[in-house]
Amino acid sequence: MIRLFLVFLVFAPLLACAPLPGMGDTPGTETVKALDGVKLISTDISRGDDPRSFGQRNYTISSSSRLLVRYEALSTAAPRILEAQPMYIRVTPASDSEKAKALTSLKICPVLTNWMMAATWQFAHPFKGGGWHPGGDVEFDDCISVDTTVTANPSLGTAASAPLTIGDDCKDSAVVCFNIQPWFKNYLIQRGINYGLVLVTLDNSSISIYGNGSGSRGPRIHWADGP
Amino acid sequence: MKKILGVMTIAGIVLLMISATAFATTTKVGNGDDGSDLEGAQKVETGILAETRLKAVEKLNALHVQNIENLGVLIPEVEKSDLYLVKGNLKPRLKSDKGMEGTPDASSVYARTFAEPHAVTRFFPSALMLGQEQLIALHIHEGLHRALPAQVREDEEVVSKITLAITGPDSSYDRVLKVVQQNIRPPEPVAFTPGGGAAGANIIATYQGPRAPDLENPSSVTYSYRSYFQPKETAAYPVLAMHLLESQLYPFGVGGHATGIGIQFSFLQLPDHALMGPLALSARTRLTTIRGFDVGAFATYAMNTLSDDELKNSPLGRDVTTVGLSLKRDGKNYYAENLLGFSLAGSANQKLGGINYEHDYGTITAATVRAGAKFYGFEFGGFGEMLLSDYYRVRGGAFAFDSGRYRIFSAGPELVFNYEALRLAVSGRFVVDATSGVNLDYLGDILGQGMGQGFVNSSLSLRF
């Protein structure tokens, strides 16, 4: 018994230094996934199965068209995710000029109603209770701007300055990243809903980005998995 | 069904009581035959009379007369009737004695029976002078007196015509059927009195049902055009119209029974293009006629597996199996029909932008009432239908929808014009009431119940 106690005394300081999952500074393992739920809603598209609204190489986001985005299996992955770590959605504008506009005008906002890939500007889905506000039920108060601490801004000649633990891809000069960690914590973890987010412009600008029809430049999500 | 069985049981008991009362007396009802010649008669179980009876039964079986309406009990009447040989000949004194049952010189009678089911057959010694074929005809003739409906079984002319049709050298099923149909008119239905009484019992005992008009020309080829009303909310799969080509052929069944196989091809008109819709196979049969009601059964199998790829990859891309029962009364100036249908649960898979959605449809119970009036070649009517389904569920990715149990009540008018073999029909189906937010899309049965808020249908049929 005394020997067992001595062994405990020797190893106790080491155990105290080990971080618990989801806490502490250890970044864990980065996971990057292509967003599978990518759906354009526009005032020009009335049919939910209109092929222009999904699987496209490029999408234009404006005051009359928005892009719904969601990683459909995020709820399943959530128990492994380190919620204290940032979570990024990475989007690639179609050009440098488009990126310049994205840095100031592009926002990503929580969606408040569950939707499916048949969503339109007027309806989240074609079933009972599927109607929503034109353009989607969006929580504009919780909109997230481009995270300029991780996103390089070529027009200012600056590079990403933050020491990234995950999302090194955000240093790429062609992309913009949104840190959606507040959304993950407030909506998915605390409320248990994964209604996704929507890319919007809150002014009259029109921004072209690559869609999930593009091989490597489609929207991605980054998170840190615990050990 | 329990109620019908109950009523039939009561009527049967009443019928038995009436029959028992009749047999208990010595005075015979019906054709005036008092049966006094039975005194001293000898029961026949062998010999030429028994042998020719067997041959008569063989002949009736060969002609399949049991499948001819009004002749359903002829074979058992011939086969099971007790035969008696009376000691002496009898002078003809009844009207029937001057027909096939009497000698040509009207000096004696060959045979007699009571004109009611299960009565005995009495042969007189003069019958033993007849040839084999004549005795066969005599057995059948006497059997017809017992087997035909009450209103004609004592009509010697009708009985003789049918006997000749059966025993003549050119006898065939079709010839017998034709003669029976020509000579036995369906009686006007009489209101049944629940609780028994002679009238009620008589209906059940003798009523063989009307000769259903649709048995004369049951087969048809039909072209239909349906224009759909879109749902108030957005449509999951907007179909504007459907062209439908249907062939329903009835090669099977005889007499009062007809069984047909049908094929339906459909072509769907979408907002910007047309495509192949479901292919449906169906079987319909008229099972029987009970108290003037044609009882039929049907089954349909709509196969989306053979439709266009785009439709297969849609909420409507499910196979639908439906079975049902119909009760129809087709009068001279009216028609009325109750239909009860049951569709099995099913599912369809839809892939939208990389996400697979599974649409699960619950079982559907459909209760339909159709009724209308006939005026010359026109039929004016309508229908009401209540649809109940367990659920409609959609799952895919992070999305899930469950309607729970829901109802849809739809109704619509029907207008039909018949001209010889042509039938022109216009009808409509409108959702009158439904669980909030529910429309016909939830059923996923485009060929059956339709889509959206209903449709207007026009069709042209050629019947033969």
- What's the 3-state SS for A168-223? HHHHCCCCEEEECHHHHHHHHHCCCCCCCEEEEECCCCCEEEECCCCCCCCCEEEE
The label of the residue with tokens 């000898």 reads B42
d(CA B329, CA B215): 13
Q: Do B355 and A195 touch (CB under 8 A)?
A: no
Q: Do B233 and A123 touch (CB under 8 A)?
A: yes
Give the ranges where B47-131 is alpha helix by DSSP (H).
48-63, 74-80
In this prediction, residue A25 has a pLDDT band, given cuts at 50, 70 and 90, of: very low
Shortest CA distance to B165 belongs to which of B137, B133, B206?
B137
Lowest mean pLDDT among B2-6, B67-71, B286-290, B370-374: B2-6
Which residues on B lie below 8 Å from A125 (Cβ)? 394, 399, 401
Mean pLDDT of chain A: 84
pLDDT of residue B322: 93
The label of the residue with tokens 């739920």 reads A37
pLDDT exceeds 70 at position B23 = no
**B16 interfacial to chain A (CB closer than 8 Å):** no
Distance between alpha carbon A193 and the CA centroid of its chain, in Å?
15
CA distance A226 to chain B (A): 23
Nearest to A126 among B233, B396, B398 (CB): B233
Q: Do B234 and A126 touch (CB under 8 A)?
A: yes
Q: Do A116 and B399 touch (CB under 8 A)?
A: yes
**Closest alpha carbon within chain B to A75:** B398
Which residues on B lie below 8 Å from A120 (Cβ)? 234
pLDDT of residue B100: 62
pLDDT tens-digit series, residues B420-447? 889 999 999 999 999 988 888 888 888 8
pLDDT of residue A10: 46
The mean per-residue pLDDT over the stretch A203-227 comes to: 90
Backbone angles phi, psi at B8, to 5 degrees: -65, -40
**Closest alpha carbon within chain B to A194:** B398
pLDDT tens-digit series, residues B307-345? 777 777 888 888 899 999 999 888 888 999 999 999 999
CA distance A37 to chain B (A): 7
Q: Do B398 and A39 touch (CB under 8 A)?
A: no
In this prediction, residue A154 has a pLDDT band, given cuts at 50, 70 and 90, of: low
Shortest CA distance to B142 belongs to which of B173, B167, B120?
B120
pLDDT of residue A22: 39
In this prediction, residue B3 has a pLDDT band, given cuts at 50, 70 and 90, of: very low
**B399 interfacial to chain A (CB closer than 8 Å):** yes
- CB contact residues (below 8 A), chain B span 63-102, against chain A: none
pLDDT of residue B98: 55
What's this model's pTM, rounded to 2 decimal places? 0.65
| Tokens encoding B7 | 């009523």
pLDDT of residue B205: 32
**Greater pLDDT, B91 or B274:** B274
d(CA B118, CA B34): 16
Shortest CA distance to B392 belongs to which of A126, A118, A148, A105?
A126
| Percentage of chain B exceeding pLDDT 90 | 24
pLDDT of residue A169: 82
Q: Do A73 and B397 touch (CB under 8 A)?
A: yes
Cα first-last separation, chain A? 33
**Greater pLDDT, B464 or B241:** B241
CA distance A60 to chain B (A): 17
pLDDT of residue B209: 36
pLDDT of residue B28: 36
**B164 interfacial to chain A (CB closer than 8 Å):** no
Distance between alpha carbon A175 and the CA centroid of its chain, in Å?
13
pLDDT of residue A217: 92
pLDDT exceeds 60 at position B2 = no
Crossing angle of helices B156-167 and B132-147, in 10° steps, is: 130
**A45 interfacial to chain B (CB closer than 8 Å):** no
- CB contact residues (below 8 A), chain A span 109-128, against chain B: 114-118, 120, 122-123, 125-128
**Closest alpha carbon within chain B to A36:** B354
The label of the residue with tokens 């209760």 reads B367
**Closest alpha carbon within chain A to B230:** A126
CA-CA distances (angstroms) from residue A156 to A69, A104, A153, A169, A171? 29, 13, 6, 19, 14
pLDDT of residue A16: 42
pLDDT of residue B150: 79
CA distance A185 to chain B (A): 17
**Closest alpha carbon within chain A to B435:** A128
**B233 interfacial to chain A (CB closer than 8 Å):** yes
pLDDT of residue B234: 66
Nearest to A117 among B235, B271, B355 (CB): B355
Distance between alpha carbon B449 and the CA centroid of its chain, in Å?
24
pLDDT of residue B393: 94
Side-chain half-sphere exposure of B433, counting CA atoms within 13 A: 5
| Percentage of chain B exceeding pLDDT 70 | 78
The mean per-residue pLDDT over the stretch B112-118 comes to: 83
Nearest to A127 among B314, B355, B394 (CB): B394
pLDDT exceeds 90 at position B62 = no
The mean per-residue pLDDT over the stretch B10-16 comes to: 42
pLDDT of residue B243: 92
Q: Do A70 and B397 touch (CB under 8 A)?
A: yes
**Greater pLDDT, A69 or A129:** A69
Shortest CA distance to B45 belongs to which of B80, B10, B9?
B80
pLDDT tens-digit series, residues B362-392? 999 999 999 999 988 899 999 999 999 999 9
Best of B355, B359, B451 to mutate (most A CBs within 10 Å, chain A): B355
The mean per-residue pLDDT over the stretch A89-113 comes to: 93
Q: Please count the other Cβ atoms lying within 10 Å of the Cβ belonging to residue A53.
A: 27
Which residues on B lie below 8 Å from A134 (Cβ)? none
**B394 interfacial to chain A (CB closer than 8 Å):** yes
Nearest to B397 among A53, A72, A128 (CB): A72
pLDDT of residue B214: 58
Nearest to B236 among A70, A73, A126 (CB): A126
Cβ partners under 8 Å of residue B9, min gap 6? none
pLDDT tens-digit series, residues B265-276? 888 888 878 888
Mean pLDDT of chain B: 79
- Cβ atoms of B281 and B300 closer than 8 Å: yes
Dihedral of CA B260/B261/B263/B264: which sign? positive
Nearest to B234 among A53, A70, A120 (CB): A120
In this prediction, residue A12 has a pLDDT band, given cuts at 50, 70 and 90, of: very low
d(CA B21, CA B185): 29
Q: Do A72 and B403 touch (CB under 8 A)?
A: no
- Cβ atoms of A85 and A167 closer than 8 Å: no
Question: What one-character-per-residue DSSP string does B31-46 give?
Answer: SS---GGGTT-EEE-S
pLDDT of residue B447: 85
Nearest to A125 among B238, B401, B438 (CB): B401
**Closest alpha carbon within chain A to B392:** A127
Q: Do B352 and A116 touch (CB under 8 A)?
A: yes
The mean per-residue pLDDT over the stretch B290-295 comes to: 82
In this prediction, residue B233 has a pLDDT band, given cuts at 50, 70 and 90, of: low
